[in-house]
């Protein structure tokens, strides 16, 4: 079976950061290897995108003690309903917003941390 290299490259270009992350983890597990330079791999696939990151994923790492306040903030940020927001907070760590500009990501992080949540920008 021959590999269609161009198709693989095209698929990688269209994949989201989360999909690429899942792919790397699957390859690490399948072949018992460790990705030594994920930044270099992203740079090869995305050209100059790795030089300066212009979009971030906002991940709720931990809800903290004030869970109700965190749910309200997540609801305001995402526009989700109450139940969906609660499920997202209960399932932490979870990405609550993808592809956000640096300033917006920092603002979301500040709001969530103000109510006791732990947030990571990726």
Tell me the per-residue pLDDT of 79-103, one tens digit each, with 9 for 90 and over: 888 898 888 888 888 888 888 888 8
For 69, residues 6+ apart whose C-beta sits below 8 A from its C-beta are 115, 116
Q: Say yes or no: 59 and 92 in one domain.
A: yes
Predicted pLDDT at 33: 81
pLDDT for 1 equals 57
How many structural domains is the chain composed of?
2
The answer to whether position 78 is within a domain reads yes
pTM equals 0.55
pLDDT value for 38: 46
What residue numbers bound the domain in which 26 lies?
Answer: 1-33
Q: Look at residue 61 and tell me if it is in a domain.
A: yes
Mean pLDDT of the chain: 81
User: Does residue 80 lie in a domain region?
Assistant: yes
């Amino acid at each position: 079976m021959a590999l269609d290299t161009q198709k693989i490259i095209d698929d990688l270009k269209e994949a989201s950061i989360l999909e690429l992350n899942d792919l790397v983890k699957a390859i690490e597990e399948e072949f018992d290897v460790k990705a030594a330079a994920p930044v270099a791999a992203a740079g090869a696939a995305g050209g100059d995108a790795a030089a300066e990151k212009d979009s971030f994923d906002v991940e709720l790492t931990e809800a903290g003690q004030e869970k109700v306040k965190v749910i309200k903030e997540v609801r305001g940020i995402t526009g989700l309903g109450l139940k969906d927001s609660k499920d997202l907070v209960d399932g932490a760590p979870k990405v609550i917003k993808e592809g956000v500009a640096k300033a917006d990501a920092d603002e979301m992080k500040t709001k969530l941390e103000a109510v006791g949540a732990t947030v990571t920008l990726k």
